[in-house]
């Protein structure tokens, strides 16, 4: 087995390797593979012509019952994954056999709002970074999983947690906090990659005296939420970090927080060196339906209305697909990609024309999309080959309820809830959008609203997963189904591709297992 031993080299991932990730398509070095958030694999061995021959090659099973939502990183023959609740494992990419585990006990009194999940690690140089449910950021030696440093990001007892994969850039590790259902005050932090010392913090709810604080009535900013629980994107040329932010608190009773509630339900562009706000764009001002904008921003360049532009594309939970100028934050366009009723539409500046009659009420107000949105945390994908953005879409509506909300530290602060219309009335789809106009080019229908993201590849494929366990490949140009495999469990997953022994592999979690597929 000398070949096996030779494959497992010490990880050496200097920042420049991540910047130039396209030079090593067999690896997957950061959450969305590239800093631009596109979740596109340049690997092209698996194609529409041979996809029907895909077979499972190995399976790795975890021991916890929580959702398994990790995106593996692939580095020179090793996969780095997180397992719920707070375990990091290194696996041999060829066989799935484990190389090391880092197991961190979860404090017994921890109660994250939405499951004990973790969505992956970051890697930089020889270190693997993981955020934990008790809101620590931990640096592990990539060779054996030993702890290099352990920094407390925030107090978990007040409802803070980290569930996202950190973003590692030049000398820094960036994380956004979760806890928007507990009346936390959201933030995005950068830590020194070597020492774990905090370098900067950007409050997603501006403090007293800061611009934007006046978009919150009275003291409501103190419990304003606006968490930042999904990994953002980075443009090394502009040196800007882009991050989506979540709902204002309390979720469904907006009366107590009059105003637009900046910077909730927004995307913020931060100077990576200082954490200073360069620009922001708020998709859903004064949100009352929990339409987080914590969707992965995709950075793409192209022609819009005859003009070449540096763009940020975001398929929002609120059912609109937005294009912004990523240098300035200027609104370029916004088009619906799913059924919606919460707004009449967008005006010329991209601001929604909200119908106040559709706010949550004591007896329930029927609104689309549902609380879980037209899409959610799982990733979209952009293929530079087809110039299409692929989104995994949820077509569902729900009754939104409003009730009293009283803040108590560490307790839920939501002010209502929802009852979703389930069964055959709810369904899903993968939709392909023209990246530069938002026009829907095709759709592939799913039996029920999905919790799995999509991956597009240079081979011309789009992979996705369903809540009934179907893992499938579509033709990227047309949406035609080419292959599917029943994994046997609900899929809460983000899909990635890597290469080992010169062969392309596709990795996806389903239920409590990681499956790796390839052509035999």
Partner 1 sequence: MFPTVLLLFFLAAQSNPAPAPPIDWAKAKRLFDANCAGCHGPEGAGGKGPALAVPILPHARTNEQLAGVIVGGIPGTLMPASWHLGNEGVMLAVAYVRKLGAGATPPKVEGDAAKGQALFAGKGGCTNCHSIGYGPDLSSIGSRRTAASLRESITDPAAEVLEDYLPVRIVTREGKMVQGMRVNEDTFTIQIMEPSGRFSSFRKDSLSKLDKRVGESPMPSYKAVFSENELRDVVAYLSSLRGEQ
Subset of 260-289 contacting partner 1 (CB under 8 A): none
CA nearest to 297, candidates 322, 280, 333, 261: 322
> Any contact of residue 229 with partner 1 (CB under 8 A)?
yes
Please say which residue, 26 or 470, places its beta carbon nearer to partner 1: 470
Provide the 3-class DSSP secondary structure of residue 2.
helix
Question: Binding mask 67-96 vs partner 1 (x if CB under 8 A, - otherwise)?
Answer: x-----------------------------
Distance (Å, whole) CA 505 – CA 509: 13
Determine if 472 is a binding residue for partner 1 (CB under 8 A): yes
110 touches partner 1 (CB under 8 A): no
Q: Does 466 bind partner 1 (CB under 8 A)?
A: yes
Helix (H, G, I), strand (E, B) or coil at 51: helix
Other C-beta atoms closer than 10 Å to the C-beta of 207 total 11
- Residue 2 CB-density burial (10 A; 0-12 exposed, 13-18 middle, 19+ buried): exposed
- Span from 27-35, 300-308, 327-335, 463-471 in contact with partner 1 (CB under 8 A): 463-471
114 binds partner 1 (CB under 8 A): yes
377 binds partner 1 (CB under 8 A): yes
Cα distances (Å, whole numbers) of residue 378 to 69, 474, 495:
9, 18, 9
* Cβ-based neighbours of 105, under 8 Å, separated by 6 or more: 86
Is 414 near partner 1 (CB under 8 A)?
yes
Q: Which of 86, 189, 251, 395 binds partner 1 (CB under 8 A)?
A: 251
Q: State which of residues 69, 260, 287, 290 lies at the interface with partner 1 (CB under 8 A).
A: 290
Q: Is residue 293 a contact residue for partner 1 (CB under 8 A)?
A: no
Taking the complex as a whole, the smallest distance from the CB of residue 515 to partner 1 amounts, in Å, to 16
> Shortest approach of partner 1 to residue 69 CB, angstroms?
12
Active-site residue (options: 290, 355, 424, 484): 290
Q: Judged by CB under 8 A, how many residues of this single chain contact partner 1?
A: 45
Q: Is 271 annotated as catalytic? A: no
Task: Please spell the DSSP secondary structure of 294-319, one letter per residue.
Answer: -S--EEEEEEETTEEEEEEEEE-TTS
CB closer to partner 1, 324 vs 429: 429
We find the least distance from the C-beta atom of residue 310 to partner 1, in angstroms, to be: 30
Please give the residues from 175 up to 194 whose contact with partner 1 meets the rule CB under 8 A.
178, 180-181
Per the CB < 8 A criterion, the answer to whether 214 and 259 are in contact is yes
Interface with partner 1 includes 363 (CB under 8 A)? yes
Residue 148 contacts by C-beta under 8 Å, 6 or more apart in sequence?
A: 127, 139, 140, 141, 196
Q: What is the 8-class DSSP label of residue 62?
A: -
Q: How far is CA 17 from CA 11, 13, 38, 96, 436, in A?
A: 11, 6, 17, 24, 29
Q: Is 457 among the residues that bind partner 1 (CB under 8 A)?
A: no
β-partners of residue 102 are 88
Q: Are 293 and 244 in contact (CB under 8 A)?
A: yes
Check residue 234 for interaction with partner 1 (CB under 8 A): no
Q: What is the CA radius of gyration of the chain?
A: 21
Q: Which of 202, 216, 340, 401 binds partner 1 (CB under 8 A)?
A: 401
Give yes or no for residue 519 binding partner 1 (CB under 8 A): no
- Note the residues at the interface with partner 1 (CB under 8 A): 67, 111, 113-115, 178, 180-181, 227, 229, 246-247, 251, 290, 292, 294, 362-364, 371-372, 377, 401, 403-404, 411-412, 414, 416-419, 423-424, 445-447, 466, 468-470, 472, 481, 484, 486
Positions marked catalytic: 290
């Amino acid at each position: 087995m000398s070949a096996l031993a030779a494959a497992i080299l010490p990880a050496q991932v200097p920042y420049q390797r991540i910047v130039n990730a396209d030079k090593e398509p067999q690896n997957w070095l950061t959450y969305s593979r590239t800093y631009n958030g596109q979740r596109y694999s340049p690997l092209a061995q698996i194609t529409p012509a041979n996809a029907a021959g895909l077979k499972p090659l190995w399976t790795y099973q975890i021991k916890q019952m929580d959702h398994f939502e990790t995106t593996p990183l692939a580095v020179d023959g090793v996969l780095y994954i997180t397992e719920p609740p707070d375990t990091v494992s290194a696996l041999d990419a060829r066989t799935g056999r484990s190389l090391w585990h880092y197991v961190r006990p979860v404090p017994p009194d921890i109660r994250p709002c939405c499951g004990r999940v973790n969505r992956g690690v970051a890697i930089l140089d020889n270190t693997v970074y993981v955020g934990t449910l008790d809101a620590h950021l931990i640096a592990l030696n990539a060779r054996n999983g030993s702890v290099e440093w352990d920094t407390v990001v925030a107090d978990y007892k007040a409802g803070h947690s980290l569930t996202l994969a950190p973003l590692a850039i030049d000398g820094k590790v960036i994380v956004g906090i979760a806890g928007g259902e507990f009346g936390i005050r959201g933030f995005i932090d950068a830590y020194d990659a070597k020492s774990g010392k905090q370098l900067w913090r950007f409050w997603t709810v501006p403090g007293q005296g800061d611009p934007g604080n006046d978009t919150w009535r009275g003291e409501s900013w103190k419990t304003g939420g606006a968490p930042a629980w999904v990994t953002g994107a980075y443009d090394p040329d502009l040196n800007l970090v882009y991050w989506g932010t979540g709902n204002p608190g309390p979720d469904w009773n907006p009366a107590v927080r009059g105003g637009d509630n900046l910077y909730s339900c927004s995307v913020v562009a931060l100077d990576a060196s200082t954490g200073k706000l360069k620009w922001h764009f708020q998709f859903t001002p004064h949100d009352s339906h929990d339409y987080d904008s914590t969707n992965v921003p995709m950075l793409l360049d192209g022609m819009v209305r005859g003009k070449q532009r540096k763009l940020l594309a975001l398929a929002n939970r609120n059912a609109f697909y937005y294009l912004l100028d990523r240098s300035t934050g200027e609104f370029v366009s916004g088009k619906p990609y799913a059924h919606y009723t919460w707004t009449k539409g967008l005006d010329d500046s991209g601001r929604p024309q909200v119908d106040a009659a559709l706010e949550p009420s004591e007896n329930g107000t029927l609104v689309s999309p549902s609380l879980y949105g037209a899409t959610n945390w799982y990733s979209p994908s952009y293929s530079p080959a087809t110039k299409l953005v692929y989104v995994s879409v949820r077509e569902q509506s729900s009754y939104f309820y409003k009730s009293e909300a009283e803040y108590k530290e560490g307790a839920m602060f939501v002010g209502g809830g929802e009852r979703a219309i389930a069964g055959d009335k709810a369904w899903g789809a993968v939709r392909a959008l023209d990246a530069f106009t938002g026009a829907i080019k095709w759709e592939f229908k799913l039996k029920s609203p999905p919790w799995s993201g999509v991956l597009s590849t240079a081979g011309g494929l789009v992979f996705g997963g369903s809540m009934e366990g179907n893992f499938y490949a579509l033709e990227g140009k047309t949406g035609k189904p080419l292959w599917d495999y029943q994994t046997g469990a609900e899929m809460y997953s983000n899909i990635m591709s890597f290469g080992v022994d010169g062969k392309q592999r596709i990795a996806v979690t389903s239920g409590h297992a990681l499956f790796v597929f390839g052509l035999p």
